[in-house]
């Protein structure tokens, strides 16, 4: 379904007016093709409207409203501080444990929410997909982008907690946007894979709680990655969220590793997941309307 | 000046039905299948199948080798029975699903309205939904803003613009949805049977709008079961039958061909018909139309009693039978709903398999009529069959007054006159 601008065809008498109209050919897609990024760009306002709709609708008819965006990580932080910080006495790179864990929970909560929302994005819009045409990529991307608002709210709370403990962001904080981007790329990459798989296998929906729970423990949230000796710490970077979390702590609190081998590994893995996810999405998207 | 707007060539679409689709939703099944597939494929190769493809599941061709051309400014009615491929055709042209073979070339922007309000979010207000829906249809925000007043005025929802659409009536939903799609100013407008929901006045307005669209040199493809509407709106008709083009000509030719095949379908055993819709927990298996309770005489006469019996093969909670009578040119005449109760209704304690509808006085004019039947129950449509049967009404009397066939009208009513005399 490539958009080909119509050119006059030799002998056949094609009226001039036809030249102004864009010709679209609907035919069977190739099995592997480039993701339709240009079309997505043309529909960028749709992306904005989907994200805006998600934000608007997410906390409708809830008592706490947008407070949910911060209650979730704060609550986890309190539990972690009590059990891992106080009872288990897990080291926290010399930082107060609540700050240590909350700095990780802010990007982590963004990631888990993005996964949950993105993986369901196609299935919950099944009716729309079956009855209207628009770039399907817009759905998972918009849900991930909508999560950025929650992230910002939680981030403000994080700054407040830091102030309470008398901690000031270091100059490394200029790297924060990069780590947010890394979190976005990771969430979107995994989200794309899961959203497409969810169309065919509804099992995905039930797997996500387990997946995120297991992922939580292989990510240095409750403990510092400095507990691992060096060659292993770089290997640890194969989990892109490990890179995001460590990078976050380093940029904000000056703890953990400076962007080094671990971050490079994490970034590479995140990019591979995103690109492969986009191709997988492109491969499957023409069947969405038939399978959903 | 007109030019080609749509060119469809050899368009075919295959759907997998049966075994494969049932397994689709469980990863374990799919994994087993994936592990088994190479062996099965090898087995097929050994048995001499050329490709070795594990093509063991059942498939149907929703469209098969469909070709036609539409010029700009044409309004084309797409006719066909349930499952003939009408909706699949529109879905492929709007890009929702891909064809298996062939292609459809579309010149210009496509606006499609295949179902009402699919892009609407119930929690958002009318205004918010206009922008959202506009964006889904490919409109820029500035464009929607410019047309907002027009859209709102056309949909007649100005008072409710800032009310969440979950509080809208179904009529308001349709009006808003149609209004947004119609104001997209597409070169090609694809409309599936959605207008049926709106009230008559709005239907007229929509038809007027579609006419405007066509007058402006743009193209409209319109799917409907309402032959009267189609004949009023379209000059050309394409009649699809079993996924292929059966008739492509003037709308009258297409409608005639369609009505003829409906009559042929009637002679087929109902239980063998596949052109039906609904959940299928209960199916209609037989329809009898007689003029008395002994079931012997099947010649109906205007003004005489009539008896319609609908046999079903099961029972679900809240089961009800609706049937609709159409005249020989496909114009709707009247409808009967068993759910709407009257004091004379009764339950049959001995028989759970049939609905009986009795008329003391059949007020249809002499002529041929067909019945579409819907069986509903368990909160959904269970079965829907077009032209479940066709019956003939002969000359008769209404309230003692002779009634003759009339080319135009379909109903007679019992009445009396008081006449002036010369005194």
B32 phi-psi bin (left φ>0, alpha ψ -120 to 50, beta other): alpha
A227 part of a folded domain: yes
A265 part of a folded domain: yes
Q: Which of residues 47-86 of A touch B (CB under 8 A)?
A: 48-50, 53, 56-57, 60-61
What is the reported pLDDT for B24?
45
Tokens of B220: 């409209």
Q: Does the beta-carbon distance from A131 to B102 stay under 8 Å?
A: no
Using CB atoms, pick whichever of B92, B96, B105 lies closest to residue A132.
Answer: B96
What is the reported pLDDT for B188?
87
Residue for token pair 């596949």: B274
Q: Does the beta-carbon distance from B94 to A132 stay under 8 Å?
A: yes
Pairing of strands B236-241, B244-250: antiparallel
Residue A137 — pLDDT band, cuts 50, 70, 90? very high
**What are the tens digits of pLDDT across the range A80-133?**
999 998 888 888 888 899 999 999 999 999 999 999 999 999 999 988 898 888
Domain total in chain A: 1
The 3-state DSSP class for residue B243 equals: coil
Tokens of A114: 């993005």
**What are the tens digits of pLDDT across the range B154-170?**
888 888 999 998 898 87
B206: nearest Cα among B251, B174, B170, B184: B174
A24 part of a folded domain: no
A146 reaches B (C-beta below 8 A):
no
Q: For residue A246, which phi and psi values (nearest 5 degrees)? A: -65, -40
A11 part of a folded domain: no
Calpha distance A38→B222 (Å, rounded): 31
Nearest chain B residue (CA) to A52: B132
Q: Provide, as residue numbers in chain B, all residues whose Cβ is less than 8 Å from the Cβ of A201.
A: 24-27, 30
Q: Tell me, which fold does domain B269-403 have in CATH?
A: Coagulation Factor XIII; Chain A, domain 1 (2.70.50)
What is the reported pLDDT for B83?
79
A6 reaches B (C-beta below 8 A):
yes
Distances (CA, A) of A163 to A79, A151, A222, A266: 21, 18, 21, 30
What is the reported pLDDT for A7?
37
CB A237 within 8 A of CB A263: yes
Residues contacting residue B409 through CB under 8 Å, at least 6 positions apart: B365
Calpha distance B151→B149 (Å, rounded): 5
B132 burial level (CB within 10 Å; 0-12, 13-18, 19+): buried
Q: Tell me, which fold does domain B61-263 have in CATH?
A: Rossmann fold (3.40.50)
Q: Provide, as residue numbers in chain B, all residues whose Cβ is less than 8 Å from the Cβ of A132.
A: 94, 96, 112, 114, 118-119, 136-137
A210: nearest Cα among A98, A97, A286, A119: A119
Q: Does the beta-carbon distance from B112 to A56 stay under 8 Å?
A: no
Residue B201: count of CB within 10 angstroms of its CB:
9
What is the reported pLDDT for B195?
65
Nearest chain A residue (CA) to B9: A27
What is the reported pLDDT for A95?
87
Could you state, in order of their start, the residue ranges of all structural domains in chain B? 61-263, 269-403
CB A102 within 8 A of CB A78: no
Q: Does the beta-carbon distance from B103 to A26 stay under 8 Å?
A: yes
A21 reaches B (C-beta below 8 A):
yes
CB B76 within 8 A of CB B90: no
Q: Provide, as residue numbers in chain A, all residues whose Cβ is less than 8 Å from the Cβ of B119.
A: 128, 132
Please state the pTM of the whole predicted model: 0.75
Using CB atoms, pick whichever of B25, B97, B124 lies closest to residue A286.
Answer: B97
Q: For residue A59, which phi and psi values (nearest 5 degrees)? A: -110, 15
Q: Provide, as residue numbers in chain A, all residues whose Cβ is less than 8 Å from the Cβ of B95.
A: 1, 24, 26, 133
Q: Which of B28, B90, B98 to probe the A interface (max A CBs under 10 A)?
A: B98
Using CB atoms, pick whichever of A26, A129, A202 lies closest to residue B92.
Answer: A26
Sign of the Cα torsion B124, B127, B129, B132 reads: negative
Using CB atoms, pick whichever of B106, B115, B136 lies closest to residue A24.
Answer: B106
> How does the average pLDDT of chain A come out, rounded?
85
Tokens of A191: 């989200």
Q: Provide, as residue numbers in chain B, all residues whose Cβ is less than 8 Å from the Cβ of A17.
A: 1, 3
Q: Provide, as residue numbers in chain B, all residues whose Cβ is less than 8 Å from the Cβ of A57.
A: 121, 123-124
What is the longest distance spanned by two Cα atoms in chain A?
84
A25 part of a folded domain: no
Q: Does the beta-carbon distance from A132 to B138 stay under 8 Å?
A: no
Give this complex's ipTM: 0.79
DSSP one-letter code for B122: T
First to last CA, chain B: 67
Tokens of A205: 């929906």
Calpha distance A90→B21 (Å, rounded): 50
Per-residue pLDDT of chain B (423 residues; tens, 9 = 90+): 578 899 999 999 988 764 444 444 556 666 676 677 666 666 655 554 444 444 445 678 889 999 999 998 889 999 988 778 898 999 999 889 889 999 999 998 888 888 776 778 888 899 999 999 888 888 888 989 999 999 999 888 888 999 998 898 878 888 888 888 878 778 888 888 766 656 667 777 887 887 787 788 888 898 887 777 788 888 899 999 988 999 999 998 998 888 888 777 666 678 778 888 888 889 998 888 888 766 555 678 888 889 898 999 988 988 999 999 998 778 889 999 998 888 889 888 887 788 999 998 999 998 888 899 999 988 888 999 988 888 888 888 888 888 877 767 889 898 999 999 987
Q: Does the beta-carbon distance from A28 to B99 stay under 8 Å?
A: yes
Calpha distance B168→B150 (Å, rounded): 19
Tokens of A55: 């934000």
Residue A161 — pLDDT band, cuts 50, 70, 90? very high
A7 part of a folded domain: no
Q: Provide, as residue numbers in chain B, all residues whose Cβ is less than 8 Å from the Cβ of A21.
A: 107-108, 187
A26: nearest Cα among B112, B313, B121: B112
Calpha distance B48→B42 (Å, rounded): 10
Pairing of strands B244-250, B332-337: unpaired
A20 part of a folded domain: no
Q: Provide, as residue numbers in chain B, all residues whose Cβ is less than 8 Å from the Cβ of A204.
A: 27
What is the reported pLDDT for B227?
79
Calpha distance A110→A106 (Å, rounded): 6
Tokens of B171: 């009529």
Tally of residues, chain B? 423
Calpha distance B367→B327 (Å, rounded): 8
Calpha distance B349→B338 (Å, rounded): 16
Q: Provide, as residue numbers in chain A, all residues whose Cβ is less than 8 Å from the Cβ of B105.
A: 23-26
CB B19 within 8 A of CB B57: yes
What is the reported pLDDT for A212?
93
SS3 sequence of A87-115: HCCCCCCCCCHHHHHHHHHHHHHHHHHHH
Q: For residue B30, which phi and psi values (nearest 5 degrees)? A: -65, -40
What is the reported pLDDT for B53?
44
Q: Percentage of chain A with pLDDT > 70?
A: 92
A132 reaches B (C-beta below 8 A):
yes
A17 part of a folded domain: no
Please give the residue range of the domain that contains residue A98. Answer: 34-291
Q: Provide, as residue numbers in chain B, all residues whose Cβ is less than 8 Å from the Cβ of A289.
A: 91, 96-97
Partners of residue B376 on adjacent β-strands = B320, B381
């Amino acid at each position: 379904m490539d958009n080909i601008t119509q050119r006059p065809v030799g002998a056949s008498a094609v009226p001039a007016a036809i030249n102004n109209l864009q010709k679209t050919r609907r035919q069977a897609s190739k099995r592997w093709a480039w993701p339709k990024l240009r079309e997505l760009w043309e529909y960028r306002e749709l992306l904005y409207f989907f994200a805006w709709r998600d934000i608007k609708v997410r906390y409708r008819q809830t008592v706490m409203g947008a407070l949910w965006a911060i209650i979730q990580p704060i609550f986890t932080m309190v539990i972690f501080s009590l059990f891992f910080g106080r009872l288990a006495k897990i080291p926290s790179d010399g930082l107060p444990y609540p700050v240590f864990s909350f700095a990780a929970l802010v990007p982590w909560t963004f990631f888990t929410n993005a996964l949950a929302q993105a993986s369901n994005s196609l299935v919950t819009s099944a009716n729309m997909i079956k009855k209207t045409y628009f770039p399907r990529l817009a759905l998972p991307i918009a849900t991930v982008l909508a999560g950025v608002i929650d992230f910002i709210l939680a981030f403000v709370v994080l700054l407040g907690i830091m102030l309470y403990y008398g901690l000031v962001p270091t100059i490394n904080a200029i790297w924060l946007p990069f780590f947010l981007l890394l979190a976005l790329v990771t969430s979107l990459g995994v989200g794309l894979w899961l959203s497409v798989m969810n169309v065919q296998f509804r099992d995905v929906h039930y797997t996500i709680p387990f997946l995120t729970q297991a992922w939580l423990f292989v990510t240095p949230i409750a403990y510092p990655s400095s507990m691992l000796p060096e060659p292993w710490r770089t290997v640890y970077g194969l989990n892109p969220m490990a890179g995001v979390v460590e990078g976050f702590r380093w940029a904000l609190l000056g703890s953990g590793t400076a962007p080094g081998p671990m971050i490079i590994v994490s970034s590479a893995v995140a990019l591979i997941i995103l690109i492969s996810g986009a191709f997988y999405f492109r491969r499957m998207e023409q069947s969405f309307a038939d399978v959903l | 000046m007109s030019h080609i707007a749509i060119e469809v060539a050899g368009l075919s679409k295959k759907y997998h039905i049966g075994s494969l689709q049932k397994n689709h939703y469980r990863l374990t099944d799919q994994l087993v299948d994936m592990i088994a597939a190479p062996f099965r494929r090898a087995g097929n190769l050994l048995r001499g199948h050329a490709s070795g493809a594990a093509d063991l599941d059942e498939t149907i061709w929703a469209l098969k080798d469909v070709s036609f051309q539409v010029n700009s400014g044409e309004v084309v009615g797409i006719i066909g029975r349930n499952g003939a491929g009408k909706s699949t055709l529109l879905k492929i042209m709007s890009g929702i699903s891909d064809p298996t073979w062939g292609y459809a070339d579309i010149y210009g922007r496509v606006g499609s309205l295949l179902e009402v309000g699919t892009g609407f979010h119930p929690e958002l207000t009318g205004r918010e939904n206009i922008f959202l829906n506009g964006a889904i249809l490919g409109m820029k925000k500035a464009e929607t803003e410019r047309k907002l007043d027009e859209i709102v005025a056309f949909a007649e929802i100005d008072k409710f613009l800032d009310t969440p659409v979950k509080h809208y009536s179904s009529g308001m939903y349709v009006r808003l949805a149609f209004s947004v799609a119609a104001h997209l100013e597409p070169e090609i407008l694809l409309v599936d049977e959605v207008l049926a929901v709106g009230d008559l006045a709005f239907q007229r307005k929509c038809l007027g709008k579609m006419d405007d669209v066509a007058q402006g040199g743009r193209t409209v493809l319109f799917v409907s079961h309402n032959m009267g509407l189609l004949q009023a709106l379209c000059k050309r008709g394409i009649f699809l039958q079993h996924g292929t083009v059966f008739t492509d000509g003037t709308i009258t030719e297409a409608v005639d061909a369609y009505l003829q095949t409906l009559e042929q379908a009637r002679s087929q055993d109902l239980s063998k018909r596949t052109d039906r819709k609904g959940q299928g927990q209960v199916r209609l298996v037989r329809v009898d139309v007689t003029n008395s309770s002994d079931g012997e005489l099947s010649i109906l006469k205007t003004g005489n009693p009539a008896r319609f019996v609908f046999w079903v093969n099961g029972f679900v909670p809240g089961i009800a039978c609706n049937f609709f009578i159409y005249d020989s040119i496909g114009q709707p005449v009247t409808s009967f709903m068993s759910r709407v109760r009257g004091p004379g209704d009764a339950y049959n304690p001995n028989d759970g398999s049939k609905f009986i509808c009795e008329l003391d006085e059949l007020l249809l004019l002499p002529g041929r009529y067909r019945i579409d039947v819907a069986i509903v129950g368990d909160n959904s449509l269970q079965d829907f069959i077009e032209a479940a049967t066709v019956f003939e009404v002969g000359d008769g009397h209404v309230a003692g007054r002779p009634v003759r066939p009339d080319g135009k009208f379909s109903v007679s009513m019992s009445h009396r006159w008081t006449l002036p005399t010369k005194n």
